[in-house]
């Protein structure tokens, strides 16, 4: 199931992320801010339990999150979303999946994987770009092997091709995104898209210093 988070703030931040004149420092800040609004939506149904608290005036019943949470960013670009998650959920466990798309075949190649125990945990897969879906499908396969209680994917922009690939391979994984874009170009880039998210995040694109 795809959820497009269409909050005005998310739209505002996304427009600046798309802007080709946004440099790496601002790009990183925007990615982090936008991720906050996405994870709020993605974690809406996390289990909580009652917690009695004493306010300065009286005792009342509050809630606390009872779920064990694990975030898994896909390297590199998913790292741009991680700080937002660790800020919001300081006790979150973090695993990493390193995947790189072959520029010619567009197939992902795994070069690193370190996942904490996932059984009974609620997992959040973080990757800003869901393009062909190859990377997300491969990372989901790795995470699902650890038998988490639930798994959801959070991305910044999704292409219809990537959403289809995920729905075919892992229909049980809900996807949360700030935008569903039009299509992929012949090089597998999302249109209108953001460009190469990892390069923009770390200033490693063509012509960068």
Residues with active-site annotation:
101, 105, 196, 199
Among 81, 130, 157, 194, binds ligand PRP (CB under 6 A): 130
State the binding partner of 189 from ligand URA, ligand PRP, none, CB within 5 to 8 A by kind: ligand URA
Q: What residues contact 169, with CB distance under 8 A and at least 6 apart?
A: 133, 137, 140, 141
Q: Which residue is nearest to ligand PRP (CB)?
A: 198
CA angle 137, 110, 36 (to 5 degrees): 60
Listing DSSP states for 152-169 in one string gives: EEE-SEE-HHHHHHHHHH
Q: Which is nearer to ligand URA, 96 or 197 (CB)?
A: 197
Sign of CA dihedral 31, 104, 159, 194: positive
Q: Would you count residue 154 as binding ligand PRP (CB under 6 A)?
A: no
Q: Would you count residue 162 as binding ligand PRP (CB under 6 A)?
A: yes
Among 129, 143, 151, 166, binds ligand URA (CB under 6 A): 129
Q: Which is nearer to ligand PRP, 2 or 75 (CB)?
A: 75
Q: Which is nearer to ligand PRP, 11 or 160 (CB)?
A: 160
Among 34, 39, 77, 123, binds ligand PRP (CB under 6 A): 77
d(C-alpha 95, C-alpha 144), whole Å: 13
Among 81, 85, 131, 139, binds ligand URA (CB under 6 A): 131
188-194 contacts, C-beta under 8 A, 24 or more apart: 188/101, 188/106, 188/131, 188/132, 189/131, 190/129, 190/131, 190/157, 190/158, 190/159, 192/18, 193/18, 193/129, 193/157, 194/17, 194/18, 194/128, 194/129, 194/156, 194/157
d(C-alpha 17, C-alpha 29), whole Å: 10
Q: Would you count residue 73 as binding ligand PRP (CB under 6 A)?
A: no
Binders in 67-106 for ligand URA, by CB under 6 A: 77
Q: How far is the CB of 82 from ligand PRP (least distance, A)?
A: 13
The binding site for ligand URA (CB under 6 A) comprises 77, 129, 131, 188-190, 193, 196-198
The binding site for ligand PRP (CB under 6 A) comprises 74-77, 99-101, 106, 108, 127-136, 162, 188, 197-198
């Amino acid at each position: 199931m795809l959820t497009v988070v269409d909050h005005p703030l998310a739209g505002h931040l996304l427009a600046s992320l798309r802007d080709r004149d946004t440099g790496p420092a601002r790009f990183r800040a925007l990615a982090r801010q936008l991720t906050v609004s996405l994870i709020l939506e993605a974690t809406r149904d996390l289990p909580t339990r009652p917690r009695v608290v004493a306010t300065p005036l009286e005792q009342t019943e509050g809630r606390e999150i009872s779920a064990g949470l694990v975030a898994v960013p896909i390297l590199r670009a998913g790292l741009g979303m991680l700080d937002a998650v660790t800020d919001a959920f300081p006790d979150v466990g973090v695993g990493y999946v390193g995947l790189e798309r072959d520029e010619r075949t567009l197939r992902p190649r795994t070069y690193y994987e370190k996942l904490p125990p996932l059984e009974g945990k609620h997992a959040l897969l973080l990757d800003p770009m869901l393009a062909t879906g190859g990377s997300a499908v491969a990372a989901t396969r790795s995470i699902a092997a650890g038998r988490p209680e639930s798994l959801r994917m959070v991305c910044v922009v999704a292409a219809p091709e990537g959403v289809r690939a995920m729905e075919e391979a892992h229909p049980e994984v809900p996807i949360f995104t700030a935008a569903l874009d039009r299509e992929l170009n012949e090089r597998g880039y999302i249109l209108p898209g953001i460009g190469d998210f990892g390069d923009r995040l770390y200033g490693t694109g063509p012509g960068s210093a």
